[in-house]
């Protein structure tokens, strides 16, 4: 058996025994989750949480237009049929009902499937995608009121973000999708909160999902759909863990910091591999959810600064695209393997997911279309010969001045055949930090996305309900969102 190294984060077997008399990370989180009351949450955090939920619901509605949604639904319907029925739980924007675990998978895919959902910059976690589907479906099962659902969502979001922050980008460096990993734990606490479990059971639920947390990032190589599946599958694990914990399943007490806990198992033992202080420091007083960034573009966040620079260059200089010699894009070093390599594949994306994770394509499409929205990921745009010719001229360089991870800086420099060159740089990507989208901008984004599936009057009705969710039940929310 391999000898277990010891560092400041990972504890030895002797220390592990002594820690049994102390409060573990999962127990501290459990106490926070158990005691959390929506009425005590600062008003600014409440507003941001509801805006993030509104944003996610709009994306989920829009996602119904895309082939992946019907494909996933077909598989889940067949799976439900094996159990002799279709189930009683709603799917966003649909008349379809499924068993609760399958409904969570479907809703997770809808919220996350367009890669248009919020991201916490420092954790690289899409917290709403792994907090909202479980909170909604378990809220539907328990006939929860809006306040209880909001509490469960917020608790789960905080847990997901803190796991990602603790990893120091290590999940991505090890080929793992941070959202898919963290979501097992966030889903467990959301379900446990809504089931009304004790603090001890909430801690146990986290211990149980310590054995299920995994999500491969292999999809970045060929535009596969696996990423869309990760949030919902994490939700299934979390829901299952909560029910097992409720009935006394004995779980590890140290799923995070133990000798074979989450971080050591997935990230290794060297001193800089992770920092567990992020798990509990300021828990309940520092609200990480409040600084989650709402995306202005339906693409990987690493491409956003470059997209805005490309759009700005066209507005400022009216560049003649056929006269471009080459384009240099500056990106953070940590983004290379996600959005810039392998170059041949990135310069000729085959699927919408290829396009979302290609800085070469995003820049080229932004220059040609002078916008970058869902339409720029349709097959007609992906196969546009002029856009692809421009994408072939895009080279990337590591940004020496990047503010990553506080923000995802980036720049674009266009070199013309005439010898002229034009450049723009964004230190802070739009949507993040001091450049966070305003409430009006988030609402506009919601109305645009929801408008792909419902009329303006219906979209406005949904907006009012979500922004006043304290006065409604989860079942009332689903009644507004779905067609029975």
- Chain-centre distance of CA 398, in angstroms? 25
CATH 1.10.4100.10 domain extents, the chain: 13-291
- Chain-centre distance of CA 476, in angstroms? 25
Non-local CB neighbours of 114 within 8 Å, separated by 6+ positions: 59, 62, 63, 66, 298, 374
With a cut of 90, say whether residue 152 has pLDDT above it: yes
If you search the block for the tokens 């914990």, which residue do you land on? 245
| CA–CA separation, 269 and 440 (whole Å) | 45
Q: Do β-strands 410-416 and 324-331 pair in parallel, antiparallel, or remain unpaired?
A: antiparallel
| CA–CA separation, 430 and 409 (whole Å) | 10
With a cut of 90, say whether residue 21 has pLDDT above it: no
pLDDT of residue 276: 95
Residue, of 399 and 484, whose pLDDT is higher: 399
Q: If you average pLDDT over residues 263-275, what whole number do you get?
A: 84
With a cut of 70, say whether residue 4 has pLDDT above it: no
Establish whether the linkage from the previous residue to 344 is cis, with ω within 30° of 0: no
pTM for this one?
A: 0.92
* CA neighbor of 291 nearest in space, from 463, 428, 181: 428
The tokens describing 163, both together, are 């796991």
% the chain with pLDDT above 90 = 86
| CA–CA separation, 58 and 452 (whole Å) | 9
Phi, psi of 123 (to 5 degrees): -100, -15
Q: What does the pLDDT look like over 291-329, one tens digit per residue?
A: 999 999 999 999 999 999 999 999 999 999 999 999 999
Q: What's the alpha-carbon Rg for the chain, to the nearest Å?
A: 22
119-142 in b/e burial notation, b at 16+ Cβ within 10 A? bbbbbbbbbbbbbbbbbbbbbbbb
With a cut of 70, say whether residue 270 has pLDDT above it: no
Q: Taking a C-beta distance cutoff of 8 angstroms, is the pair 125, 178 a contact?
A: yes
Lowest mean pLDDT among 72-86, 106-120, 278-292: 72-86
With a cut of 80, say whether residue 5 has pLDDT above it: no
% the chain with pLDDT above 70 = 95
What count of residues does the chain have? 484
Outline where DSSP puts E strands in 93-242.
Answer: 97-98
Q: Taking a C-beta distance cutoff of 8 angstroms, is the pair 134, 151 a contact?
A: no
| CA–CA separation, 193 and 180 (whole Å) | 20
Question: Which CATH architecture describes the domain 13-291?
Answer: Orthogonal Bundle (1.10)
| CA–CA separation, 411 and 309 (whole Å) | 6
Non-local CB neighbours of 306 within 8 Å, separated by 6+ positions: 329, 330, 331, 359, 362, 363, 410, 411, 412
Query: For 301-433, CATH number?
Result: 3.30.1330.120
CATH 3.30.1330.120 domain extents, the chain: 301-433
């Amino acid at each position: 058996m391999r000898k277990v190294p010891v560092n400041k984060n990972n504890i030895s077997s002797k220390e592990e025994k002594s820690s049994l008399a102390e409060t573990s990370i999962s127990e501290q989180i459990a106490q926070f989750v158990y005691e959390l009351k929506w009425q005590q949450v600062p008003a600014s955090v409440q507003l941001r949480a509801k805006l993030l939920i509104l944003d996610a619901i709009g994306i989920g509605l829009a996602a119904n237009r895309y082939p992946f949604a019907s494909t996933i639904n077909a598989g889940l319907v067949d799976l439900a049929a094996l159990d002799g029925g279709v189930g009683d739980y709603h799917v966003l924007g649909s008349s379809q009902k499924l068993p609760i675990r399958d409904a969570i998978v479907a809703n997770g895919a809808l919220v996350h499937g367009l890669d248009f959902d919020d991201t916490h910059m420092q954790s690289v976690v899409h917290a709403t995608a792994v907090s909202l589907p479980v909170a909604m479906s378990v809220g539907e099962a328990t006939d929860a009121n809006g306040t209880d659902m909001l509490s469960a969502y917020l608790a789960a979001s905080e847990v997901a973000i803190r796991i990602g922050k603790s990893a120091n980008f290590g999940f991505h460096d090890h080929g793992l999708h941070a959202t898919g990993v963290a979501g097992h734990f966030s889903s467990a606490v959301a379900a446990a909160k809504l089931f009304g479990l004790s603090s001890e059971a909430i801690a146990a639920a986290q211990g149980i999902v310590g054995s299920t947390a995994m999500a491969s990032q292999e999809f970045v190589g060929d535009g596969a759909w696996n990423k869309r599946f990760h949030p919902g599958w994490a939700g299934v694990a979390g829901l299952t863990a909560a029910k097992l914990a409720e009935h006394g399943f004995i779980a590890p007490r140290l799923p995070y910091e133990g000798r074979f806990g989450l971080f050591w198992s997935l990230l290794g033992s060297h001193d800089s591999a992770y920092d567990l202080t992020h798990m509990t420091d300021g828990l309940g007083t520092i609200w990480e959810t409040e600084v989650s960034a709402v995306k202005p573009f339906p693409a990987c966040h690493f491409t956003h600064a470059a997209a805005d620079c490309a759009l700005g260059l066209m507005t400022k200089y009216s560049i003649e695209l056929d006269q471009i010699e080459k384009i240099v894009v500056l990106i953070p070093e940590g983004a290379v393997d996600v959005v810039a390599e392998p170059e041949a594949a990135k310069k000729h994306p085959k699927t919408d997911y290829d396009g979302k994770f290609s800085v070469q394509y995003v820049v080229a499409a932004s220059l040609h279309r002078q916008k970058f929205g869902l339409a720029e990921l349709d097959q007609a745009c992906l196969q546009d010969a002029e856009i692809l010719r421009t994408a072939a001229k895009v080279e990337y360089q590591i940004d020496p001045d990047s503010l990553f991870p506080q923000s995802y800086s980036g720049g674009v420099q266009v070199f013309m055949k005439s010898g002229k060159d034009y450049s723009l740089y964004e230190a802070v990507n739009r949507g993040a930090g001091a450049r966070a989208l305003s409430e009006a901008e988030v609402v506009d984004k919601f109305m645009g996305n929801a408008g792909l599936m419902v009329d303006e009057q219906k979209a406005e009705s949904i907006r009012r309900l979500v922004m006043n969710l304290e006065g409604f039940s989860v079942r009332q929310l689903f009644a507004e969102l779905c067609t029975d």
